[in-house]
Amino acid sequence: MDNTTYWIWWVLGIIHILPLFIGSNHLIHSITPQSPIQCNQTICTLQNSYGTWNDRKNCYALNVTYPTTEEQLRLAVSYVVQNNLTAKIVTKFSHTIPKLSCPQQNNNHAYFISTEKYDTEIQIDATNLTVTVDSGVKLRQLIDEVEKNGFSLVAAPYWEGVTIGGVISTGSHGSSWWGKGGAFHDHVFGISIIVPGSKSEGYAKVLRLESHDPLFNAAKVSLGVLGAISKVKLSLEHRFKRSIAFNFTDDNDIENVYIEHAKKYEFADITWYPSRHTAVYRYDVRVPLDAAGDGVYDFIGFQANEILVSQSVRAAEKLLENTGNTEGKCLTASATLGYKKLTANGLKNNGLIFTGYPVIGYQGKMQTSGSCLYSTRIDTSCAWDPRIKGLSFYESTAIFPASKFGDFINDVKKLRDINPQNFCGIDNYNGILIRYIKASEAYLGQSEDSVVIDFNYYRANDQFTPRLNQDVWEELEQIAFFKYGAKPHWAKNRNLAISNVQHKYPKFNLFIEAKNQMDTQNVFSGDWSDEILYGKELVKFDGCALEGQCICSEDRHCSPQKGYYCSHGLVYKEARVCRSSSTFVYPDSL
């Protein structure tokens, strides 16, 4: 590399990690997230939090209503049923990536029912250690309320920009194999759900489901297709503290130690940066309430960034993509990882800065974060806020039976070892996050102890622009979903991940039976949720494999005009991926 090139990539590297510095060293405030629903005189449009659905098409409904009580929610469902309309429940956040909240688009008869203003009741039952909440209550609101009263929620997603209704509908989770495990829905004791009713029932009725009810295990993870959830009753524990330390080390042993790691630490996870040959083990345990420390985990990726910085990072990433510069990506991946190590990824001993391990703090401040959501400074935001044209990325999430996960890691290592630099594109984000979920009774939960991976990677501004090393991400997905039969997270992923999903859940039929019983008129059905429930051949068109809308079988499904051809996998030969003829060099061994 000559001197000028070196400095260009150095500057790009610094731009890339700037938000991390800024986010952690200053008290930064952001623009409040906008409502996901925008209406004009004739139509309402729903966006997800990234502003772009998987198919890049809009999602419409005729109108939206904002109930504030359970009875108003029931009346909203009643109106929809009485008038032969369809409906989807939408939330204040709309943080699900695929179109799960989108009603059927072809009949012009759909309504949105929003829980944005249905968020006032949080009733704590201190004797029975439960809390009952309106479904529109925000996760942070709930955490703060229970902590204030001396209790904690044990499991929750890492991201707090979600509502309780949204979290349980999608099987969202944190990480744990202890107790009832890391999935939020496994800590649910009761669900009130409003389903269509007969005329004499006022066209809508409230079902109050508890664990003895046969419909309860369907309602625990309902994908929003069974009815409108009005109340959720959750288990509580007495308030506790946690002690967290991150061990940044080599990745030699992940496949041998991942089970022990989860058994040893209640809130264990592992973040794997394959291109850097680095694994970060999270040593995370409960400590007594009187242990010294008032720390927070303000995860770096969820801190507010200056808008200009987010835009510069996006511009830098686009430049690296468009010039096919893997080396530049690796430079930024390296700088990012170095900075994460320095700042403990957002752990702060005193709420402001990181001074050393372990960081001890209350459960309510250690499990879940999202500080980018709450502040008010107009020149900052969450990095992916669609209004600022900042980061745009995909997230693939695959859930494995624990016993198969070691083999998956070995396959990924083989793929990585062909050319480790090809993995820098995910290490620029958060590498591969490895978390744990325990076996669940929920029909659409995990039937056995499982391991979940998430990885994020660049998404272009238009659907026909291929991505650097996209063959690697595609092979990774296909190894997970097809070779090892991993299941998708219901709230994430690109279309190919739901192929054949009906056959991956042993109790899928019971869920369909429950749907037929509860939503007799398919009021809560939608195009995407129907694809999940009943399956659909992936439709093939020119360029369809570039964004995971299909798996390529011909070159035209990739982008031959831009030098991307349909090719076989390198480790998993059965995989079919779009590979660049110009950036890929076949190793001698292949």
Ligand X SMILES: Cc1cc2nc3c(=O)[nH]c(=O)nc-3n(C[C@H](O)[C@H](O)[C@H](O)COP(=O)(O)OP(=O)(O)OC[C@H]3O[C@@H](n4cnc5c(N)ncnc54)[C@H](O)[C@@H]3O)c2cc1C
Residues making contact with ligand X (CB under 6 A): 49, 88-91, 93-96, 100-101, 115, 135, 157-159, 162-163, 165-167, 169-170, 172-173, 223-224, 228-229, 491
Spell 237-255 as b/e; 16+ CB within 10 A means b.
eebbbbbbbbebeebeebb
Q: Minimum Å distance from CB 526 to ligand X?
A: 8
Q: Minimum Å distance from CB 300 to ligand X?
A: 13
Q: Give the nearer residue to ligand X in terms of CB position, either 429 or 565.
A: 429
Q: Give the nearer residue to ligand X in terms of CB position, either 94 or 235.
A: 94
**DSSP code at position 480:** I
Residues 261, 269: Cα–Cα separation, whole Å: 8
Residues 156, 96: Cα–Cα separation, whole Å: 16
Q: Give the nearer residue to ligand X in terms of CB position, either 172 or 326.
A: 172
Q: Give the nearer residue to ligand X in terms of CB position, either 300 or 491.
A: 491
Q: Give the nearer residue to ligand X in terms of CB position, either 349 or 446.
A: 446
Q: Which residues on adjacent β-strands are paired with residue 576?
A: 568
Sign, Cα dihedral of 45, 50, 55, 57:
positive
Q: Give the nearer residue to ligand X in terms of CB position, either 59 or 89.
A: 89
393 CB contacts (<8 Å, ≥6 apart)? 384, 429, 456, 457, 458, 459
Q: Minimum Å distance from CB 118 to ligand X?
A: 8
Report helix angle 3-25 to 307-322, nearest 10. 150
**Of all residues in this chain, which one has the CB nearest to ligand X in the complex?**
166
Q: Minimum Å distance from CB 226 to ligand X?
A: 7
395 CB contacts (<8 Å, ≥6 apart)? 97, 454, 455, 456, 492, 493
Q: Give the nearer residue to ligand X in terms of CB position, either 28 or 183.
A: 183
Q: Minimum Å distance from CB 395 to ligand X?
A: 7
474 CB contacts (<8 Å, ≥6 apart)? 545, 548, 551, 575, 577, 578
Q: Give the nearer residue to ligand X in terms of CB position, either 390 or 466.
A: 390
Kindly state the helix (H) or strand (E) to which residue 159 belongs, with its residue range.
none
Question: Six-digit token pair at 60?
Answer: 């419409």
With 0-12 / 13-18 / 19 or more C-beta atoms within 10 angstroms meaning exposed / middle / buried, residue 256 is exposed
Report the relative pairing of strands 228-235 and 564-568 from DSSP bridges. Answer: unpaired
Q: Minimum Å distance from CB 507 to ligand X?
A: 19
DSSP assignment of 106-122: SSS-EEEEE-TT----E
Q: Give the nearer residue to ligand X in terms of CB position, either 157 or 543.
A: 157
Contact predicate 497/398, CB 8 Å: yes
Residues 529, 40: Cα–Cα separation, whole Å: 26
Q: Minimum Å distance from CB 578 to ligand X?
A: 26
Q: Give the nearer residue to ligand X in terms of CB position, either 18 or 89.
A: 89
Q: Minimum Å distance from CB 365 to ligand X?
A: 16
Question: Six-digit token pair at 559?
Answer: 């982008």
Q: Give the nearer residue to ligand X in terms of CB position, either 225 or 279.
A: 225
Q: Minimum Å distance from CB 564 to ligand X?
A: 28
Q: Give the nearer residue to ligand X in terms of CB position, either 229 or 280.
A: 229
Q: Minimum Å distance from CB 455 to ligand X?
A: 13
Residues 20, 43: Cα–Cα separation, whole Å: 39
Distances (CA, A) of 489 to 204, 287, 396, 453, 577: 30, 31, 8, 10, 22
Q: Minimum Å distance from CB 584 to ligand X?
A: 31
Q: For the chain, how big is the Rg over CA atoms in Å?
A: 23
Residues 225, 528: Cα–Cα separation, whole Å: 11
Q: Give the nearer residue to ligand X in terms of CB position, either 298 or 411.
A: 298
Q: Minimum Å distance from CB 204 to ligand X?
A: 13
Query: What HEC string does 243-310 produce?
Result: EEEEEEEECCCHHHHHHHHHHHCCCCEEEEEHHHCEEEEEEEEEECCCCCCCCEECCHHHCCEEHHHH
Question: Six-digit token pair at 258?
Answer: 């991942």
Q: Minimum Å distance from CB 94 to ligand X?
A: 4
Distances (CA, A) of 103 to 67, 505, 531: 18, 24, 12
